[in-house]
Amino acid sequence: MDKLIIEGQVKLKGEVTVSGAKNSVLPIMAATLLTEDACIIKGVPDLRDTNTMIRILRALGKGVEFDKGVLVISSLKKTNYIADYKLVSTMRASFCVLGPLLGKLGKAKVSLPGGCIIGVRPVDLHLKGIKALGADVDIESGYISAKAKKLKGAHIYLGGVYGSSVLATDNVMMAAVLASGKTVIEAAACEPEVVDLADFLNKMGAKIKGQGTPTIEIEGVRCLHGATHTIIPDRIEAGTMILAALITKGDILIRNVILRHLGALIDKLEEAGVSIIKGENSLHVRYKKPLNAVNITTLPYPGFPTDMQAQMMSLMSVTPGITIITEKIYPDRFMHVSELNRMGAHIQREGPHAIVEGVARLSGSCVMASDLRASASLALAGLAAFGKTSISRIYHLERGYEKIEEKLESLGARVRREKE
C-alpha cells in the first residue's frame, strides 16, 4: 500500500484540466450491457473504479479496450447474468449492473454491495423499483436474484428517507428502457450524472424524457443499439481543485468544467467572500483575502453535494469563525474529523453535525484516508499545513481522482508517493 507525502504551504498556481466524471462513467459502462453492439465512450478517467468496472464487464462477457481515455466495449460472448461478490464488494457502483442485466436478459444475480465506511447504504429503493417493474426478487447468500419474463412499465415513487437515490434512479431507468409500456419515476435523482446516463441511453435508442428533473418518463423500446458518447467533466474533481486553490492561497485556472453543475458550491464560496471568474468551460479562482465562515448542509442535487463535504470542512478548518456542517445524505460521513483534528483542526462532531472552529494553522501529521472524499480532504489539509503530512491508504484517492499527484505537482505542490 502506498502513502502520499505532502510538504505543505505552497501556493498552488497554474492551469489544470478536469477529467471525466467517475459517477457518470460507471453507470454508463454498465448501460452497455443493454446492447450487443459496440459502444465507444470518450473522456473516460483512468481510475481504480473504472478499472474495476472493466473487470466486471469482462466477467459478464464483454470485450473492453481502454486506451487514452477511450473505451470500446463490445460483446465477446453470451452475457453472463451473475456479478460476483469479489468484484461487487470492492465498489458499490458495480451494483448498477443489476438494472441492465435484468432489462436485457430477464434475470440477474448480483452480489449485495454491503455497507461501507460512510454509512449503511441500503439498496431498498433499487429493489422497490425493479419489483414495481414486475421482477421477482430474492435475497440469498448475499446475492440479489431478480427475474422477470418481461418487465412492464410502471409508476414508481423512488424517494427514500434521505431523499432521492442516484444509483437507484440509474438502475431503475436502465431496467425500464426495454420494459413494455411507459415507466414514470417520481422523486428521481436530478444529479448531472443521471442526466448523462439518460442522454447515453437515448443515443442507444431509448426514449427517456425529464432527466434532470424529479419526474423521469421512459417509453419502453424493443432493443437498443451501440452509441458513442463523451463523459461530462467531474464536478467533484473541479470543486476539489477550487478548494485546493483557496486553501493554499493560490491562483488556478480550471479547464473542462460545466459551471451550472457547480452552482451550490460556487454560491457558498461567494457567500464566503470568494470571487470566481467564470469562463465558458473554465473558471479562474484566486485567493485574495481571508474567507468568512459559512454554514453548509449537504442535500441531493442541486443542493450542496455530500461528495464535497469533507473537502469543504478542510477549508473551513482554517477559515476564521465557526462553521456548522450538517450532513443530510450520510449522517455518519465524518471519518475525516478525527484525522483533521490530528492536524490541529478544532472540529467537534454532534450527530449529523460538525462544528468547525477555524484555526490559524494546521500542522503536518501522519493521517489515514478512510474513504475517497475523506482522502481528498486530508490532501487539501496537507497542502495548507505547515510541515510534512503523510496520508496512508491513499488507494482511496485513486478511486476517484485521475493523475492527482501529477495534477497537483503541475500546480507547484510538493507531493510524492512512498511505499508504506
Give the residue numbers marked as catalytic.
Answer: 116
- Asked if 316 is part of the footprint of ligand UD1 (rule: CB under 6 A), the reply reads no
Comparison of 27 and 226: residue with beta carbon closer to ligand UD1: 27
Sheet holding 366-368, edge to edge: 366-368, 388-392, 2-7, 414-419
State which of residues 31, 291, 329, 413 lies at the interface with ligand UD1 (CB under 6 A): 329
Q: Of 92 and 109, which has the nearer Cβ to ligand UD1?
A: 92
Regarding 23 and contact with ligand UD1 (CB under 6 A), the answer is: yes
DSSP state of 119: B
> Does residue 93 belong to the site contacting ligand UD1 (CB under 6 A)?
yes
What's the grid cell of residue 101?
442485466
Q: Shortest Cβ distance from residue 215 to ligand UD1 (Å)? A: 17
396 scored as a contact of ligand UD1 (CB under 6 A): no
- Asked if 92 is part of the footprint of ligand UD1 (rule: CB under 6 A), the reply reads yes
Binding of residue 327 to ligand UD1 (CB under 6 A): no
From 2-10, 159-167, 212-220, 407-415, give the range in contact with ligand UD1 by CB under 6 A: 159-167
- Interface region with ligand UD1, contact rule CB under 6 A, candidates 39-47, 98-106, 156-164, 271-279: 156-164
Residue 166 makes contact with ligand UD1 by CB under 6 A: yes
Dist CA 110 CA 124 (whole Å): 14
Can you list the positions of beta strands (E) in 28-91?
A: 39-42, 62-67, 70-75, 82-83
Question: Given the complex with ligand UD1, which of 49 and 339 has the nearer CB atom?
Answer: 49
Please give the backbone phi and psi of residue 200, each rounded to the nearest 5 degrees, phi first: -65, -45
89 or 292: CB nearest ligand UD1: 89
Work out the angle between the directed axes of helices 98-105 and 22-31 (0-180°, nearest 10): 20
Query: Distance between CA 30 and CA 162 in Å, rounded?
Result: 25
Q: What are phi and psi of 391, to 5 degrees?
A: -105, 115
Report whether 306 contacts 298 (CB < 8 A): yes
User: Is 125 near ligand UD1 (CB under 6 A)?
Assistant: yes
Distance (Å, whole) CA 190 – CA 225? 25
Q: Buried b / exposed e across 243-275, counting CB within 10 Å, b at 16+? A: bbbbbbbbbbbbebbebebbebbbebbeebebe
How many residues interact with ligand UD1 (rule CB under 6 A)? 24
**Helix, strand, coil percentages, rounded to 5, for the chain:** 35, 30, 40
Minimum separation from the CB atom of position 103 to ligand UD1 (A):
18
Look up residue 348 and give its three cell numbers.
467537534
Verify binding: residue 303, ligand UD1, rule CB under 6 A.
no
Of 73 and 372, which CB lies nearer to ligand UD1 in the complex structure? 372
Closest to ligand UD1 by CB, 171 vs 392, is 171
Residue 123 found at the interface with ligand UD1 (CB under 6 A): yes
Q: Which of 67, 77, 161, 360 binds ligand UD1 (CB under 6 A)?
A: 161
How many CB atoms within 10 Å of residue 280? 7
Dihedral sign for Cα atoms in the order 73, 79, 84, 89 = positive
3 state DSSP class of 40: strand
Q: Which stretch binds ligand UD1 (CB under 6 A): 162-170, 206-214, 251-259, 360-368?
A: 162-170
Yes or no: say if 90 and 60 are a contact pair by the CB < 8 Å rule.
no
User: What mask, x for binding ligand UD1 by CB under 6 A, covers residues 343 to 372?
Assistant: ------------------------------
Residue 26 sits in the site that holds ligand UD1 (CB under 6 A): yes
d(CA 298, CA 309): 7
Question: Is position 167 an interface residue for ligand UD1 (rule: CB under 6 A)?
Answer: yes
Q: Which residues within the stretch 192-231 sit at the binding site for ligand UD1 (CB under 6 A)? A: 193
Please identify, among the stretches 38-46, 158-166, 308-316, 346-354, the one whose residues bind ligand UD1 according to the rule CB under 6 A. 158-166
Binding site for ligand UD1 (CB under 6 A): 23, 26, 92-93, 119, 121-126, 160-162, 165-168, 189, 193, 306-307, 329-330
